[in-house]
Structure 1
Amino acid sequence: MFKKLLASVGIGAAKVDTLILSETLVPGETMLIEIVIEGGDVPQTINGLELSLMTMAEVEHEGGESRQPVRLHHWHLDDRFTVEANERRSERFELTLPLETPITALRCTRGFSEVWLETGLDIAQGLDGRDHDPLRIAPTAAMSQVLAAVEACGFELYSTDVEQGQLRGPNFASSLGCYQELEFRPTGMGAMRVKEVEVSFVAQPGVTHVMLEVDRRFAGDSLRCFVVPEGASDSEVAMSVRQILG
């Protein structure tokens, strides 16, 4: 009875470990994971698995801004079973990342974005053991084309962050409750004209919407948007970027 009581408050209870079977992912891609469950000191009933795609976002409040965890997406795997004491069992699952998942696999001078998968056990009458697994998210082909074109115009990536809220532009709006900003700074003579360029993406099936916020030294901020259709050539994307930054 004493062991059952301890297990009900998370002591000696079942533990979960999630293995990400892909080293690098891209937004919209299917992620293969393996979930390993290890039983505690007593048998426990598992009502299901709870998985959350998380990021850290800048959140505004009365005292200013702070970075807080924000859930991008949630999956509930409804699979009721009993894990015996000291039993080890594993199962593989496929999860599809949202198209608007922030990018983390970028080199920048300072500041970076984080995305992770949080896994928990829905244990009857008890707390769950959680697992926290960082994800390496690379840009899609369209995003890579835009980033390369910005760099070709004489800018380098300085920092990235995720902002709470919704990004809206002509015929598009973000949908996850937050959006990513990639801050570029000019190199060489370009610094005479432009302070910084912030790039944001809202990817949708078949197209990627791009918003550039350009901070010019003598003209202030301006917002410009364009669309990169799936299969667009490098030269087409480069031309769109040059028309804004040139």
Structure 2
Amino acid sequence: MLNMLKASLGIGAAKVDTVLESLFVEQGGTLKGDVVIKGGEVEQKIDAIRIELCTEIKVDIDDSISYQKHVLTRLDAVQTFTISADEIKQVPFELVLDNETPITELNAQMNQSKVWLETTLDIDFAIDPKDRDYLAVHPSSVVSQTIAAIEDAGFVMNKADVEKGFLRGQGFSSQSGCYQEIEFKNKGFLNKKEIELSFIVNGDSVHCLAEVDRSMSMRGDQYASFTLNRDAKAHEVESMVKQILSI
């Protein structure tokens, strides 16, 4: 009886550990691994296993900024089972990254982009055991080439973060309720410019929304959107970047 009470408080209860084949993944990629559950001091009933792909979003309300967990994708295994004391169970899984999963592997001076996998065991009348694994999300080839071309033009990646809201470009729109902004600045004085890029990977297509701000311009922020194939050639990427730089 004492052990049951302790387990309900999380002492000597079942534990969960998500073991991934790799913590490194590219935009549009698939995560593979096993949820490893180790029984505690007593037998417990597991009602469900929940795996969530999460990021942290910036919420700006009335000039007040806060940061919140945001779930991009959820995978639920809802078949109830019982795990005995000290028993070990492994549950394999695959999870495709959401199209709007932020890139974390960026050489920004201030990179606030985070992505993690959060695994939770649903146990009645107990503190649900959790495991969190941070992921290294790399840009797709087209996105990587775009970033490199912007930097080759004399811009420095200043900041990357994830904000609450939706994007809308020509022929595409975001769905997840958040979007990543990758901000670049040049070192010009009379021609000072900021460029913010947001990407959505959708199957074989990579959508890009560019926001350009010229500090000495009276036109305000200017927007342009583009769509390239994931296998786009170098000259296609260069053409898109030239259009962005010309704004």
TM range, smaller chain: over 0.9
1:61 and 1:193 map into 2 onto residues whose CA distance is 32
**Residue equivalent to 1:80:** 80
The residue that corresponds to 2:162 in the other structure is 162
Q: Which residue of 1 aligns with 2:111?
A: 111
Other structure's SS at 2:111 match: coil
Structure 2, unpaired ranges of 5+: none
Secondary structure of 2:32's counterpart equals strand
Partners of 1:7 and 1:116 lie apart in 2 by 27
Q: 2:104 & 2:84 partners in 1: Cα distance?
A: 38
Structure 1: which 5+ runs fail to align?
Answer: none
- Using the TM superposition, give the Cα deviation of residue 107 of structure 1 relative to its aligned residue in structure 2, in angstroms: 1.3
Give the CA RMSD over aligned residues: 1.6
1:112: Cα distance to partner? 2.6
Q: Give the equivalent residue in structure 1 for 2:177.
A: 177
Alpha-carbon distance in 2 for matches of 1:237, 1:76? 39
**Corresponding letter in the other structure for 2:138:** A
Q: CA deviation at 1:229?
A: 1.9
Deviations along 1:46-69, one digit per CA (max 9) or x if unpaired, are 122111111111112245111111
Q: Which residue in 2 is equivalent to 1:210?
A: 208
Alpha-carbon distance, 1:31 to partner:
0.7
Alpha-carbon distance change, 54 to 23 in structure 1, aligned in 2, over 3 angstroms: closer
- 1:119 to 1:23, Cα distance in 2 relative to 1, 3 A: closer
**TM-score, normalization: structure 1?**
0.93
Give the alignment partner of residue 196 of structure 1, picking from 185, 194, 201: 194
**Counterpart in 2 of 1:137?**
137
Give, as a single letter, the amino acid of the residue that structure 1 aligns with 2:214.
R
Give the superposition deviation at 1:223: 0.8
Alpha-carbon distance change, 2 to 63 in structure 1, aligned in 2, over 3 angstroms: farther
For residue 156 of structure 1, report the CA deviation from its aligned partner.
Answer: 1.8
1:55 is the counterpart of 2:58: no
- Corresponding position: 1:10 with 2:10: yes
Q: Which moved more, 1:22-31 or 1:42-51?
A: 22-31
% identical equivalent positions: 41
Contact 1:153 1:242 in 2 (8 A): no
> Matches of 1:19 and 1:119 in 2, distance apart?
11
Q: More deviation in 5-14 or 218-227?
A: 5-14
Structure 2 Cα separation of the partners of residues 127 and 93 of structure 1 = 24
Which amino acid in the other structure matches residue 133 of structure 1? D
> SS of the residue aligned with 2:25?
coil
Contact 2:190 2:216 in 1 (8 A): no
Q: Which amino acid aligns with 1:88?
A: I
Q: CA deviation at 1:126?
A: 2.2
1:92-143: CA deviations, max 9, x gaps?
2111111210000111112330000010001133221101110000011221
What residue identity is the alignment partner of 2:202?
Q
Separation in 2, partners of 1:234, 1:63: 41
For 2:234 and 2:79, the matched residues in 1 are separated by: 46
The answer for the alignment partner of 1:40 in structure 2 is 40
TM-score scaled by length of structure 2: 0.93
Q: CA deviation at 1:241?
A: 1.0
TM-fit CA distance, 1:162: 0.2
Length, aligned pairs only: 244
Q: Which contiguous aligned blocks of 4+ residues in structure 1 show a shift greater than 6 angstroms? A: none
Aligned in 2, Cα 1:63/1:221: closer, same or farther, shift over 3 Å? closer
